[in-house]
Amino acid sequence: MSESKINISKTESSRLSEIDFDNLPFGKFFSDHMFQADYEDGEWKDFRIAPLENLSIHPGNLAWHYGQSIFEGMKASKSKDGIPMLFRPEEHIYRLNASARRMCMPEFPEEMFIEAVHTLVEMEQGWIPPQEGAALYLRPLMIAMDEALGVRPSAKYKFMIMTLPVGPYYAQPVSLLAEETYIRAAKGGVGEAKTAGNYAGSLYPARLAKEAGYDQIMWLDAKEFKYIQEVGTMNIFFVIGDKIITPETTGTILKGITRNTAIEILNFNGYQVEERPISIDEVVKAHNEGLLKEVFGTGTAAVIAKVSKIAYRGNDMVLSGGSEIGDMIKKTINGLRLGTEIDHWNWTVAAKGSQVIV
């Protein structure tokens, strides 16, 4: 057993008693502690967990000006026996480091990431909401820390992990507007990276969609506005007849970990999933023929979100059918988190304190 490299200082005044677990809007309440590390002189150092604090940041910070900012979203839950559990934590450090490479940022050490999430979740386990569907959301974030106005990669970075008790991201089925003016990502761009700018770019079209009466944008490809990409807050699946189809990941969409979880669960249950280009025309045709049975989104925050309606060129495709496939995946994921479903994949792992990590 090796000694933890994480320096821990605990709060003397927990805010936990102020939290109403029955009323948890997504992203509003932060737990008591956060993990931090700094990158200087070519290495990550000063690994620490301390009370959540504001940062003092110079106005010339490169992340603010040129967007070197990447993040992850992952969840911890409590098993039916009260054990804090992490879900596929290693997938999140692989993806964070893929985002880091694309954004010319330093990779974060995998082992330290795993130790940090275990230690933090073990410390903050009282913040894990008990209700099915709610969870402790972990937000790892890496930002540039140099203060300079030249367009170049920063030499200094900060890595943090915050945790937040959250309810479902979408409490109701979601209506989508297929977007034909704005784009999320083009081939060769940063669409696959979980970087701040991808979300910033979605805000204005999402506002227009909201004003038109829809919850979110459904992105089409940047070249022809023909092939469906993702929703921006989640990946998307279509059930057409007896086929389950999801856009393939070829660089313009996020490689969703819940997307992959859903595909694995479907395969395990005997369903084939077609990962391929799917055009909006194919969806419209399926709807007109009565074959569009289900549409759902997948994401860490959203888990599985049923789509109620998709608008394209002024026409609403209303999905009044069931959600058999989406519900089965959601039930399996929730059951895995609660420990009531057999974990055939070894995705769930009990959070260990830093002292038991070897």
Positions in the binding site for ligand COI (CB under 6 A)? 73, 233, 299-301
Nearer to ligand COI among residue 73 and residue 106 (C-beta): 73
Nearer to ligand COI among residue 258 and residue 323 (C-beta): 258
Phi, psi (deg, nearest 5) at residue 141: -145, 135
Nearer to ligand COI among residue 37 and residue 301 (C-beta): 301
Q: How far is the CB of 266 from ligand COI (least distance, A)?
A: 19
Written as six digits, the tokens of 138 are: 């972990």
Rounded Cα distance between 272 and 253, Å, is 21
Rounded Cα distance between 119 and 6, Å, is 9
Pairing label, strands 292-299, 235-240: antiparallel
Per the listing, tokens 């603010």 go with: 64
Nearer to ligand COI among residue 195 and residue 300 (C-beta): 300
Residue type, 157: Y
Beta bridge partner(s), residue 351: none
Q: How far is the CB of 251 from ligand COI (least distance, A)?
A: 19
Nearer to ligand COI among residue 246 and residue 300 (C-beta): 300
Q: How far is the CB of 281 from ligand COI (least distance, A)?
A: 28
Rounded Cα distance between 5 and 195, Å, is 28
Per the CB < 8 A criterion, the answer to whether 21 and 129 are in contact is: yes
Cβ neighbours of residue 11 closer than 8 Å, sequence gap 6 or more: 32, 33, 51
Nearer to ligand COI among residue 92 and residue 293 (C-beta): 92
Q: How far is the CB of 26 from ligand COI (least distance, A)?
A: 7
> Other C-beta atoms within 10 Å of 265: how many?
23
Nearer to ligand COI among residue 35 and residue 71 (C-beta): 71
**Angle, to 10 degrees, between the axis of helix 257-268 and the axis of helix 89-102?**
140
Q: How far is the CB of 40 from ligand COI (least distance, A)?
A: 27
Rounded Cα distance between 323 and 333, Å, is 15
For residue 346, give the DSSP letter. -
Rounded Cα distance between 36 and 161, Å, is 7
Q: How far is the CB of 252 from ligand COI (least distance, A)?
A: 17
Nearer to ligand COI among residue 4 and residue 69 (C-beta): 69
Residue whose CB is nearest to ligand COI in the complex, by number = 73
Nearer to ligand COI among residue 27 and residue 322 (C-beta): 27
Q: How far is the CB of 60 from ligand COI (least distance, A)?
A: 27
Beta bridge partner(s), residue 135: 166
Rounded Cα distance between 188 and 108, Å, is 24
Q: How far is the CB of 151 from ligand COI (least distance, A)?
A: 26
Q: Where are the beta strands (DSSP E) in 121-257?
A: 135-144, 157-166, 174-178, 216-218, 235-240, 243-246
Q: How far is the CB of 308 from ligand COI (least distance, A)?
A: 19
